[in-house]
Amino acid sequence: MDWSEFDLAMSDERYLDGAAVFKEEPRMPVLTVLDNLEDGMAPEAVAEAWQIDLRLVNAVKEFAESRRLARSFR
């Protein structure tokens, strides 16, 4: 997935070999959040499991849904 248009993400070789990560949480891959949502985890559960702001989880969900690259989540 191309995360270049997702304002909350960045790709930088210094973090996780250039994988898309959150600007606010540069050790957290954005794709991990999406994978967890696709596996059926509720946004609140993802935020709690990874100790990240729920706002970031919801932003990933909305971005993916807007790109029609993911099915609707809870």
Domain locations along the chain: 9-66
pTM: 0.85
Residue whose structure tokens are 């919801």: 58
**pLDDT: which is higher, 71 or 63:** 63
Averaged pLDDT for residues 8-25: 94
Phi, psi of 39 (to 5 degrees): -80, 0
Averaged pLDDT for residues 52-56: 97
Q: What is the DSSP string of 15-73?
A: TGGG-EEESSSTTSBHHHHHHHHHTT--HHHHHHHHT--HHHHHHHHHHHHHTTSS---
pLDDT at 42: 97
Q: Which amino acid is at 48?
A: E
